[in-house]
């Protein structure tokens, strides 16, 4: 028998990109901000991060292995990303069961129940945060004061903005490096931007999405606050905007795949964030605005398809 060679459909050449590589890059990009959160909020923050990530990975394994009976994919790091993002969206002072329940909800209900990676229509971490906010509102809005003894709590900078207490506002410098109250991961705007730029450099995200999101929020809040530059500027730096814009509005499966759709998503999320922060009942609007845009994604995609090459202007 003569030597027979493999045949297959072209192309016969593939790039080195992989899902696990992308997810690993996201984890790397989040590490500086995570480290800052642990530095500012102490041991409790570390425990919350570990519990959240551990529960996410364990849930993914359990659901895939014993409930869906499909090959497990914990090696692709996507559960790590979800767990980490959830932890970064929690106050450091939450009791131990909050990150665990949140991660189980994120992975089992939001992700795996809809078919696993790529099929979730909402950002699992944000959906879990919304679920926790509705279930344990007090725990979810008790904020530790940075670099203070355990148990000392205070208002977040966004809360101060909302209550219009100008003399208690943090300095821009503190907001930038993260020496302010808030969730574990949303303290240091600078480190979040750094992580985001790493993802841009690695080709994981398109910088135009966070840039348009942040710019829309900034401009609207600038107008709403009577052209007060400082307030609008602080709005961009504090709260979950940097985290949301760089790491969640750029989530793959719950946002549009085409560029036009992504821009509509970013502007919409910016608009909703500004409206909720300025006129809504909550001080923070990032997570709800992204979730609302998540559910609008199929609709956006339907109407944002680009014209086909040679198909004339549309």
Partner 1 sequence: MTAARDVVKLFRVLILLIVYCIFNSRGETMGIFSFKGGIHPPHAKKYTEHKAVELAVEPTTVAIPLRQHIGAPCDALVQKGDYVKVGQKIGEPASFVSAAIHSSVSGTVKELKVMDTLGGKDLCVVIESDGLNAVDESIKPYPPLESLEAKEVMDIIKGAGIVGMGGAGFPTHVKLSPPKEKTIDYVILNGAECEPFLTADHRLMLETPEKVVLGLRALMKVLGVPKGYIGIEDNKTDAIDSIKKAAASYPEIEIASLKTKYPQGAEKQLIFAVTGREVPSGGLPMDAGAVVNNVATAAAIAEALTTGMPLIDRICTITGSCIKEPKNLRIKVGTMLTEIVEQCGGFSETPGKIVLGGPMMGIATSTLSIPSTKTTSGILTFNEADSKTPDPSACIKCGKCVTICPSYLEPVYISAYALLDQFDMAEKYAALDCIECGSCSFICPSKRPLLQSIRLAKREILARRRKA
- For residue 150, give both structure tokens: 């355990």
Nearest to 155 by CA among 180, 186, 135, 138: 180
Contact 189, 238 (CB under 8 A): yes
Would you say 48 or 78 has its CB closer to partner 1?
Answer: 78
Would you say 100 or 236 has its CB closer to partner 1?
Answer: 236
Residue among 7, 134, 149, 164 that touches partner 1 (CB under 8 A): 7
Does 138 bind partner 1 (CB under 8 A)? Our answer is no
Q: How far is CA 247 from CA 139, 197, 292, 309, in A?
A: 24, 11, 16, 31
Does 167 bind partner 1 (CB under 8 A)? Our answer is no
Would you say 10 or 138 has its CB closer to partner 1?
Answer: 10
Does 14 bind partner 1 (CB under 8 A)? Our answer is yes
Residue 292, judged by CB atoms within 10 A of its CB (0-12, 13-18, 19+), counts as middle
What CA–CA distance (Å, rounded) separates 217 from 179?
A: 22
Does 68 bind partner 1 (CB under 8 A)? Our answer is no
Region of 28-36, 94-102, 132-140, 165-173 interacting with partner 1 (CB under 8 A): 165-173
What is the pattern of x (binds partner 1, CB under 8 A) and - over residues 216-255? --------------x--x------------------xx--
Does 172 bind partner 1 (CB under 8 A)? Our answer is yes
Burial 119-146 (b: 16+ CB within 10 A, else e): ebebbbbbbbbbbbbeebeebbbebbbb
The minimum distance between CB 121 and partner 1, in angstroms, equals: 10
The minimum distance between CB 53 and partner 1, in angstroms, equals: 19
- For residue 217, give both structure tokens: 């929020």
Nearest to 247 by CA among 29, 101, 75: 29
Beta carbons within 8 Å of 146's beta carbon, 6+ residues apart: 40, 41, 178, 179, 180, 181, 187
Does 73 bind partner 1 (CB under 8 A)? Our answer is yes
Residue among 206, 275, 282, 296 that touches partner 1 (CB under 8 A): 206
Does 28 bind partner 1 (CB under 8 A)? Our answer is no
Positions that interact with partner 1 (CB under 8 A): 2-15, 17-19, 21-22, 73, 76, 78, 115-119, 171-173, 176, 193, 197, 200, 206-208, 211, 230, 233, 252-253, 256-259, 262, 305-312
């Amino acid at each position: 028998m003569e030597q027979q060679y493999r045949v297959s459909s072209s192309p016969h050449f593939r790039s080195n990109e992989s899902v696990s590589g992308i997810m690993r890059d996201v984890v790397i990009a989040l590490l500086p901000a995570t480290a800052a959160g642990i530095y500012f909020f102490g041991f409790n923050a570390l425990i919350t991060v570990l519990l959240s990530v551990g529960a996410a990975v364990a849930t993914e394994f359990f659901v895939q292995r014993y409930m869906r009976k499909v090959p497990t994919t914990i090696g692709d790091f996507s559960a790590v990303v979800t767990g980490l993002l959830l932890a970064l969206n929690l106050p450091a002072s939450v009791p131990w069961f909050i990150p665990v329940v949140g991660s189980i909800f994120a992975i089992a209900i939001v992700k795996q129940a809809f078919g696993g990676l790529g099929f979730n229509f909402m950002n699992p971490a944000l959906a879990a945060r919304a679920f926790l906010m509705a279930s344990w509102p007090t725990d979810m809005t008790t904020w530790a004061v940075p670099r203070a003894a355990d148990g000392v709590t205070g208002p977040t900078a966004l809360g101060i903005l909302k209550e219009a207490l100008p003399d208690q506002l943090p300095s821009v410098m503190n907001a930038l490096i993260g020496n302010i109250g808030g969730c574990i991961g949303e303290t240091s705007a600078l480190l979040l931007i750094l992580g985001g730029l790493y993802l841009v450099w690695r080709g994981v995200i398109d910088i135009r999405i966070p840039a348009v999101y942040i710019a829309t929020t900034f401009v609207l809040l600038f107008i709403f606050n009577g052209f007060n530059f400082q307030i609008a500027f602080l709005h961009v730096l504090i709260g979950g905007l940097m985290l949301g814009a760089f790491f969640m509005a750029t989530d793959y499966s719950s946002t549009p795949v085409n560029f036009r759709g992504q821009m509509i998503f970013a502007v919409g999320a910016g608009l909703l964030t500004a409206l909720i922060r300025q006129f809504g009942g909550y001080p923070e609007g990032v997570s709800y605005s992204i979730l609302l845009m998540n559910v609008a994604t199929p609709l956006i995609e339907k109407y944002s398809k680009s014209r086909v090459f040679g198909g004339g202007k549309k």
